[in-house]
Structure 1
Amino acid sequence: MRSNIDYSLYLVTDRDVLVDTDIYTDVEEAIKGGVTLVQIREKNMGTLEFYNFALKLKIITDKYKVPMIINDRLDIAQAIGAAGVHLGQRDMPADIARRILGDNKIIGVSTETLKQAQKAERQGADYVGVGAMFHTTTKDDASAVTINCLKEIKEGISIPVVAIGGISEKNVSLLRPANIDGIAVISAILGKKSVKIAAEKLGILIKL
């Protein structure tokens, strides 16, 4: 397990939420504001477009030594030398992904229950993403997970737990009782006029 990864402020990309700017500028500004890990999540791109897009973003993440994770696409992750992949419940099993990618890559798995989280850990995942915690407009099929369930997952596995889904400055403090390892956000950073300031504010709030 790669224990030196900082999951505290985890940015997931979505070009649809940007405010009068471009994704490359925003990702760089978000990293300057304190983002510790970036996941490229683009569902509506062909393979060549995704490859070129991720390659260009990796130049930025590499510049700041921030790990880049690719959502779902192991082929893209391998092609650009990404730090790892993030898998959903309907994607490739984590143990198969581990066999393909090897021991040095980060593998994350989306979960909603303790059972799913424990299975991900058994299959060799490095961390789990748990959510959606709150209502979110960026993922239509996400169901709500309670704070108690999040706490149960955190206490029931030994790998890092990252909360995701509708997290913002207004509700992030509600996650504190679960003692999680980080939060993953989209709109709370990329949907703001100044992504750097938004990242800085979230960074302060998760440390309080």
Structure 2
Amino acid sequence: MGNLDRARLKLYLVTDSTGMTQDLFLSRVEAAIRGGVTILQLREKDKTTREYLELAIKVHEITKKYNVPLIIDDRIDVAMAIDAEGVHLGQSDMPVDIARKLLGKEKIIGATTKTVLKALEAERNGADYLGVGAIYPTTTKVKTVLTSVDTLREICEAVSLPVNAIGGLNKDNIDILQGVPISGICVVSAIMKADDSEAAAKELFQRILA
């Protein structure tokens, strides 16, 4: 539905601004994109709508400069307000089919799924890609339910949509995904908490599906 090339999902960064000044956060986002991030999701669970909006505008300026799609986590209103390329919806967020009606055919809609049943439902309802996990426990402020690599493989085989693995993934543990037909990986801490986000992204990019 949305304009999403499968290759765009190879290295998907989900942001985490915890404990950072805005300048540091924005510089890490830009460094990560320089290092090879192919799509970026802005995730802010604790900001007010206005704060989220103001940050999204600044992040979008960066992503547009590098022609990287910006996905807004959860908040369709923020995505529409800044004309972001898409949204990502968790299982407790707005249903995909309703989001599609609001956003139209051109925008990218991603959905988090943990079972084959939910994956098929998201595909039927108009999702463009799926995020499946958590493969490993994570340090982000999101409730995580672990998903086995076998379930990830089953979801990949059940749907025609591109599927990304998410949850605690880093350069030292992504080998567990070898042979699973994913389109890419979603990472947070492996890049956002790295001292050198550009180098961290570069190393991850080279190791994915190598």
* Shorter-chain TM-score above 0.5: yes
Conserved in 2, the CA contact under 8 Å of 1:13 and 1:41?
yes
Moved more, 136-145 or 70-79: 136-145
1:91-102 pair list within 5 angstroms: 91-102=93-104
Aligned-pair Cα RMSD in Å: 1.5
DSSP 3-state at the match of 2:179: helix
DSSP 3-state at the match of 2:208: helix
1:1-20 pair list within 5 angstroms: 1=1, 2-5=3-6, 6-16=8-18
Conserved in 1, the CA contact under 8 Å of 2:71 and 2:79?
yes
Paired letter, 1:45: K
Moved more, 159-168 or 139-148: 139-148
Give the number of aligned pairs.
208
The residue that corresponds to 1:118 in the other structure is: 120
Consecutive aligned runs of 4 or more in structure 1 exceeding 3 Å deviation: none
Change (3 A) 1:112 1:201: same
The residue that corresponds to 2:200 in the other structure is: 198
1:54-203 pair list within 5 angstroms: 54-203=56-205
The residue that corresponds to 1:31 in the other structure is: 33
The answer as to 2:23 corresponding to 1:47 is: no
DSSP 3-state at the match of 2:41: strand
Q: Distance in 2 between matches of 1:96 and 1:63?
A: 30
Change (3 A) 1:90 1:52: same
Change (3 A) 1:146 1:17: farther
Q: Distance in 2 between matches of 1:51 and 1:140?
A: 21
Q: Which runs of 5+ in 1 are unaligned?
A: none
Conserved in 1, the CA contact under 8 Å of 2:178 and 2:209?
no
Conserved in 1, the CA contact under 8 Å of 2:74 and 2:90?
yes
- Post-superposition offset of 1:139: 3.8
TM-score w.r.t. the length of structure 2 is: 0.95
- Post-superposition offset of 1:177: 2.1
DSSP 3-state at the match of 1:130: strand
The share of aligned pairs that are identical, in percent, is 48
Q: Distance in 1 between matches of 2:180 and 2:85?
A: 27
DSSP 3-state at the match of 2:13: strand
